[in-house]
Amino acid sequence: MFSKILIANRGEIACRIIRTARRLGVRTVAVYSDADAEAQHRKLADEAVHIGPSPARESYLSGEKIIAAALATGAEAIHPGYGFLSENPDFVGAVEKAGLVFIGPSAGSIRAMGLKDAAKRLMEKAGVPVVPGYHGDNQDVGFLAVEADRIGYPVLIKASAGGGGKGMRRVERTEDFAAALESCRREAKSSFGDDKVLIEKYISSPRHIEVQVFGDSQGNTVHLFERDCSLQRRHQKVIEEAPAPGMSEAVRAAMTGAAVKAAQAVNYKGAGTIEFIADGSDSLRPDGFWFMEMNTRLQVEHPVTEAITGFDLVEWQLRVAAGEALPVTQEQIHIHGHAVEARLYAEDPAGGFLPQAGRIDHLAFGAGEGIRIDGGVIGGDTVSPFYDPMIAKVIAHGATRDAALDRLGSALGGTHIAGLATNRDFLRALSVDATFRAGRMDTGLIERDLDALLRKPEISEEVLLVAALAALEIDPQASHAEFRHWGEASRRVVLLADGESIERRVVFDEAGYRLIGGAAEARISGVSVGVPPSALPGISPSRGEIGRETASFTHSPPLRGRCREATEGGATTTGLTIAARTEQNGTSAHLTARVVITPTRVGKSVSVLLAGETFVFLHPDPLSGADAAHGGSGDILAPMTGVVRLVEVKAGDAVKAGDRLLVMEAMKMEHTLKAPRDAVVDAVLVAEGGQAEGGSVLVKLKDAADG
């Protein structure tokens, strides 16, 4: 076994590799860019080396810098993780030339499977079923059109060097083929530097099923069963599970046998995945699946395989790379229960799934039996705009598929994230989708049901009351704070949600608090206030356990009020849990809500988690006025991290106090920035559609007298 390895990656997968390496007594070296100077993988590793600026091409894609870092720190091997250089055969060659070990397959195996057309010809020779199509070298438009007619419509045009869903076009009829081919070639050239394509029969109701394979240098090859990755959006996997629903032993034997045959055809060593497309229009059939491609690396979704087999695939990678044989034979690998994984991203589903960047004010995951969290960030960290915006993977394991999905839904429902828009609610909706729960999904399910999956929960008066108490900084336990000799205490509150203003009055009397002004009234009484472990000062997930809730806390006498969670990036976040008895429309029930409050330049952001749903409000500061949107120098600053939706001025424009300059969208809410005084626009530093960090200068103003 190695004594020290370098991890040529970042984020979640780097933290995942470090966890296994530490268990095995292997020291780790992290590499990091400017953007990752405070990243968790850097802090978790035994050593860390800075390798360059934030853009990946100048840091994580620089093989020379990574190899130099390995040599300088005395690392014996390099683990590539996934993405970046993990499937670059030239990098593998350079690593080996430097006298280091690449923890993965050989350069030859990667090259053999790197181009889709060549890989499929190789698979045909090896007896692996391949989708009917044309994978040859003739790229003449007329010839390809004839081939498409021969295959039969609909067909799929795919970039030979493609991946990640890019360079793909579905064509329904002959008349549309030429235009689709031209479009596909443009995208392929731009994305991969190669406009060569292949044509395949388009499978209706396709299911994406893949098989985990593993080989060693002694010639042993095994499979660790299949994973179903059919829940996709624009060819990007969203939820994965193992084993595949509806998989019979006959189909499993045929599919896993074909996968092992494919790996043996390229003398594969290490972890790899053979991806198949299957006909999901009816029951799976032994003759109804076809080879798509091989991923010559560890997959993002490998934890579900680990959950059902009990093996650590990263440990296997290290042992095989060190020259050891596989630790078990095929007969010793069995399926135990069912596992499902959801990819939690900083992205805005309601805004077209646009990636989000900025500070995570609060991050707490739902816990429970059978739940595993593989994460790369904690509360207070920043999601960088330079890389994939994954926050974590939520993995649930249970005795049955229903049990695993129930646990996944519960864990997602208990996950509270504040500061950035995420796909948490979208994932939770998927976990309870009736078609998915019945196992009748295919790769088109999400697009067909997208409107229902994105439907927002109704904001109840109970939610508004909790948000109002937090926004007004009312301690529900400290009733003396609202004491009156007679009558009732009443305070007005304005909350913004999804760009709409909601006005209510919070009234206090001997029975508790109630909210008036809406279509219904809500009241809470018998309130207790507590602080969740994840909101305590100085408490963070333990070393090597990024994303897990490991902290515990007791306080005597009982803590009242709020507790500061962290002070990073200029913002102090507070968190609390409110438990109360509620009354609405004549009914009474118990309520438990988690609340996170973060100050912004224009007031407070209030995030409420209640009954598994997240609600985000902005409580504007009525005293801030125009000063909230500009600095003393006259610069207009971004009040929070968000997207610039509208720019209404340009350099040289004369503006009057109160004129709208631009509109930002953050946390699913629009905020208008206005001129604080009569002035002239000196410079506009943002463009429509661009991302702006909180506190950054958007527009510079100068007095008209300054010319």
DSSP 87: T
Q: Quick one: which of 378, 371, 365 has its CA closest to 414?
A: 365
Indicate the pTM of the whole model: 0.81
End-to-end CA distance of the chain: 70
**Residue 705, class by beta-carbon neighbours within 10 Å (0-12 exposed, 13-18 middle, 19+ buried)?**
exposed
pLDDT of residue 131: 84
**Could you tell me which CATH number the domain at 4-103 has?**
3.40.50.20
Q: What is the pLDDT of residue 114?
A: 87
Task: Respond yes or no: is residue 297 known to be catalytic.
Answer: yes
Amino acid at 331: E
Q: Are 527 and 477 in contact (CB under 8 A)?
A: yes
Q: How far is CA 372 from CA 78, 85, 170, 335, in A?
A: 26, 27, 37, 18
Q: Tell me the CATH number of domain 337-455, given options 1.10.620.20, 3.40.1390.30, 3.30.470.20, 3.40.50.1220.
A: 3.30.470.20
Q: Which of 227, 252, 297, 424 is catalytic?
A: 297
Q: Do residues 137 and 115 lie in contact, with contact meaning Cβ atoms separated by under 8 Å?
A: no
| Domain 132-201 CATH assignment equals 3.30.1490.20 | yes
For residue 155, give the 3-state DSSP assignment.
strand
- Return the percent helix, strand and coil in the chain, to nearest 5: 25, 35, 40
Query: Using CA atoms, how far apart are residues 292 and 185, in angstroms rounded to an integer?
Result: 19
Domains 108-130+208-336 and 337-455 share a fold: yes
Task: Work out the burial of residue 587: count CB atoms within 10 Å of its CB; fewer than 13 is exposed, 13-18 middle, 19 or more buried.
Answer: exposed
Contact status, residue 675 vs residue 656, Cβ threshold 8 Å: yes
Long-range CB pairs of 32-37 (<8 Å, 24+ gap) are: 32/59, 33/58, 33/59, 33/60, 33/386, 34/59, 35/384, 35/386, 35/387, 36/10, 36/384
3-state DSSP call for residue 384? coil
Q: Closest by alpha carbon to 6, among 55, 56, 72, 59?
A: 72
pLDDT for residue 567: 40
Model pLDDT, residue 487: 53
What the block records as the tokens of 282 is 């009816």
Give the SS3 label for residue 626: helix
Domain ranges of the chain: 4-103, 108-130+208-336, 132-201, 337-455, 461-620, 625-706
Fold of 625-706: OB fold (Dihydrolipoamide Acetyltransferase, E2P) (2.40.50)
pLDDT at residue 625 in the model: 45
Measuring CA to CA, which residue among 551, 525, 558 is closest to residue 536?
Answer: 551
Please identify every stretch of the chain with a pLDDT value under 70, giving residue numbers as ranges. Answer: 162-165, 475-488, 499, 526-527, 529-572, 584-586, 601, 622-634, 639-641, 666-670, 694-695, 706-707
User: If one looks up domain 108-130+208-336 in CATH, what number appears?
Assistant: 3.30.470.20
**Structure tokens, 166:** 């890019």
DSSP code for 202: P
